[in-house]
């Protein structure tokens, strides 16, 4: 279908609502079969998908898009196989739909319980990554939801090819292709229409930068689940820097947190260092500098780094509280846990880590830090649906209502009350 023949957003919402009515009662076995068909289709149509993606990549390069965005856009045979494998992994997860809570009999004689049900119709808005198209489709289908997807204009051909594969798989399984729909018109107005389709869409989930999230929150009449934005901190307590072994672990963890995938929302932004461990800092950050990480430090920290011959820049106030999404790290020396907690309270909400050998310090950190994920002696890169046992994820929610942290199958469901009686009347 050409863009000029594309259905209106309202028509897409109407079709999605009809598909959602079917999906919410679909047996687990049929959902599993649908995901297996999608994975098989991805493999069978790999050539078509990769050719479409190559066109998107060429257009992105010609348009001068930054290399990190082009890298997120690019698919390879191995990456496509990984996407197919992820779909199969989702199909093996426990199906949360239909789970029932304990039945309680009230004095009136009614029996009361809760039952887990899909949210209904999801609108997911995202940028660059075509794998998101398939990940979200798989999670939506397995959790019994229909979904309307709006990717960035740079992924237009890739997403169209992926939608065709998903539709063919759904039809082959006797299901409505309208369960997964991609908005192919990249005009911003179409996104605005989706944000205001509150009579047909149950939740909007944006995945992208702060600007996208703010746009959705300010313009939507559909409830928006905000996530994926936030500053990631590691606080290094002096107790974790006393031995060569612990310092080696700390250096490796910091390197993993910053370098493995600097564009990810769970990559390290700010290192908070206990003043009692300041002398060990050059040893900890040299591996970062060797991999082209730019260090921005407060005056006290900068003096120690420069004296040790470690290149670093003076930090501006704006460097604290900034999500860099690049090979830049801000560092600040603090007087201990109290100051670290105050700093995180002012700047954090996503993922925060403490490195310590003091159980009391660790417990206080876990209790006090109010973020989506709090970690003890582990890289913030573990704040990910797959790593936390959820399979794939739709997003990482940093709000507190409905869902918080990685959103997998269970987070795409809600509950309804079920009340049973024998002709019961209220007195």
For residues 185 and 314, state if they share a domain: no
Give a yes or no: residue 388 inside a domain: no
Q: What is the pLDDT of residue 127?
A: 83
Residue 129 lies inside a defined structural domain of this protein: yes
Tokens 């009449």 sit at which residue? 221
Residues 253 and 335 both lie in one domain:
yes
Residue 37 inside a domain? The answer is yes
Same domain, yes or no, for 217 and 309?
no
pLDDT recorded at residue 96: 95
What is the Cα–Cα distance from 398 to 268, expressed in whole angstroms? Answer: 16
Q: Are residues 303 and 157 in the same domain?
A: no
Q: Are residues 166 and 238 in the same domain?
A: no
Pairing of strands 111-118, 413-420: antiparallel
- Rounded to the nearest angstrom, the gap between the alpha carbon of residue 42 and the centroid of all alpha carbons in its chain is 23
The whole-angstrom separation of Cα 248 and Cα 240 is: 10
At residue 22, φ and ψ (nearest 5 deg) are: -75, -45
51: domain CATH number is: 3.40.605.10
pLDDT tens digits, residue range 282-323? 999 999 999 999 999 999 999 999 999 999 999 999 999 999
* Same-domain pairing of 10 and 152: yes
Structural domain containing residue 138 = 3-225+407-420
Residues 96 and 208 in one domain: yes
Q: How far apart are the first and last CA of the chain?
A: 59
Residue 365 covered by a domain: yes
Which positions ≥6 away from 58 have C-beta within 8 Å?
Answer: none
Q: What is the rounded average pLDDT of the residues 227-235?
A: 86
Tokens 């990910």 belong to: 384
Confidence at 212, pLDDT banded by 50, 70, 90: confident
- Tell whether 394 is covered by a domain: no
CATH of the domain at 310: 3.40.309.10
Cβ 339 vs Cβ 233: under 8 Å: no
Q: What is the pLDDT of residues 337-396, one digit of tens each?
A: 999 999 999 998 899 999 999 999 999 999 999 998 999 999 999 998 878 877 778 888
Q: Across residues 267-287, what is the average pLDDT?
A: 97
Task: Establish if 335 belongs to a structural domain.
Answer: yes
Q: What is the pLDDT of residue 407?
A: 86
Beta bridge partners of 121: 146
CB 110 within 8 A of CB 425: no
User: 283 and 140 in one domain?
Assistant: no
Examine residue 183 and state whether it is found in any structural domain, yes or no.
yes
Measured CA to CA, the distance from residue 152 to residue 125 in angstroms comes to 8
Do 157 and 198 belong together in one domain? yes
Q: Can you list the alpha helix ranges (DSSP code H) found in 260-358?
A: 281-290, 299-307, 337-347
pLDDT in tens, 46-87: 999 999 999 999 999 999 998 878 988 999 999 999 999 999
- What angle separates helix 77-91 from helix 131-142, to the nearest 10 degrees? 10
Answer yes or no: do 320 and 292 share one domain.
yes
How many CB atoms are closer than 10 A to CB 166? 27
Are residues 46 and 191 located together in one domain of the fold?
yes
* Distance of alpha carbon 179 from alpha carbon 190, whole angstroms: 19
Yes or no: say if 236 and 355 are a contact pair by the CB < 8 Å rule.
Answer: yes
Element housing 294 (H / E) = strand 294-297
pLDDT 10s digits, 188-204: 999 999 999 999 999 99
Assess if residue 392 is contained within a domain. no
158: its two tokens: 């890739």
The count of domains in the chain is: 2
Phi, psi (degrees; rounded to nearest 5) at 270: -135, 130
**Residues 135, 243 within the same domain:** no
| pLDDT tens track for 108-128 | 999 999 999 999 999 999 987
Distance CA(395)–CA(407), nearest Å, equals 6
**Angle subtended by helix axes 28-44 and 46-62, to nearest 10:** 70
Mean pLDDT for the stretch of residues 21-28 = 96
SS3 for 362-420, per residue?
Answer: HHHHHHHCCCCEEEECCCHHHCCCCCCCCCCCCCEECCCCCCCEECCCHHHEEEEEEEE
pLDDT at position 1: 43
- Could you tell me which residues are beta bridge partners of residue 235? 272, 354
């Amino acid at each position: 279908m050409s863009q000029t023949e594309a259905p209106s957003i309202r028509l897409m919402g109407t079709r999605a609502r009809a598909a959602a009515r079917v999906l919410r009662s679909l047996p687990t076995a049929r959902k599993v079969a649908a995901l297996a068909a999608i994975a098989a289709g991805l493999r069978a149509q790999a050539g078509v998908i990769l050719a479409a993606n190559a066109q998107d990549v060429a257009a992105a390069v010609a348009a001068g898009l930054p290399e990190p965005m082009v890298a997120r856009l690019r698919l390879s045979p191995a990456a496509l196989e990984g996407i197919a494998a992820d779909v199969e992994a989702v199909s093996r997860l426990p199906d949360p739909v239909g789970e029932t809570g304990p039945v309680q009999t009230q004095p009136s004689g009614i029996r009361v319980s809760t039952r887990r049900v899909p949210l209904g119709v999801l609108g997911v808005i995202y940028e660059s990554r075509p794998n998101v198209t398939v990940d979200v489709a798989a999670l939506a289908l397995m959790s019994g939801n229909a979904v309307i997807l709006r990717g960035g204009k740079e992924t237009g051909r890739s997403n169209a090819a992926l939608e065709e594969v998903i539709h063919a798989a759904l039809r082959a399984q006797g299901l409505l292709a309208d369960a997964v729909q991609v908005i192919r018109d990249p005009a911003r107005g179409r996104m605005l229409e989706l944000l205001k389709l509150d009579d047909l869409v149950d939740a909007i989930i944006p995945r992208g930068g702060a600007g996208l999230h703010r746009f959705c929150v300010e313009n939507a009449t559909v409830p928006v689940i905000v996530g994926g934005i936030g500053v990631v901190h590691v606080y290094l307590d002096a107790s974790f820097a006393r031995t060569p072994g612990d310092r080696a672990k700390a250096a490796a963890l910091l390197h993993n947190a910053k370098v493995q995938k600097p564009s990810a929302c769970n990559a390290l932004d700010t290192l908070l260092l206990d003043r009692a461990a300041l002398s060990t800092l050059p040893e900890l950050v040299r591996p970062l500098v060797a991999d082209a990480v730019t260090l921005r430090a407060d005056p006290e920290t900068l003096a120690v780094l420069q004296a040790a011959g470690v290149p670093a820049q003076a930090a501006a106030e704006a460097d604290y509280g900034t999500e860099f999404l690049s090979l830049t790290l801000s560092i600040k020396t603090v007087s201990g846990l109290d100051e670290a907690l105050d700093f995180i309270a002012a700047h954090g909400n996503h993922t925060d880590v403490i490195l310590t050998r003091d159980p009391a310090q660790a417990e206080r950190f876990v209790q006090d830090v109010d973020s989506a994920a709090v970690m003890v002696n582990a890289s913030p890169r573990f704040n990910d649906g797959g790593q936390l046992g959820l399979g794939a994820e739709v997003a990482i929610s940093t709000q507190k209502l409905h869902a918080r942290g990685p959103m997998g199958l269970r987070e795409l469901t809600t509950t309804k009350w079920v009340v049973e009686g024998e002709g019961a009347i209220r007195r």
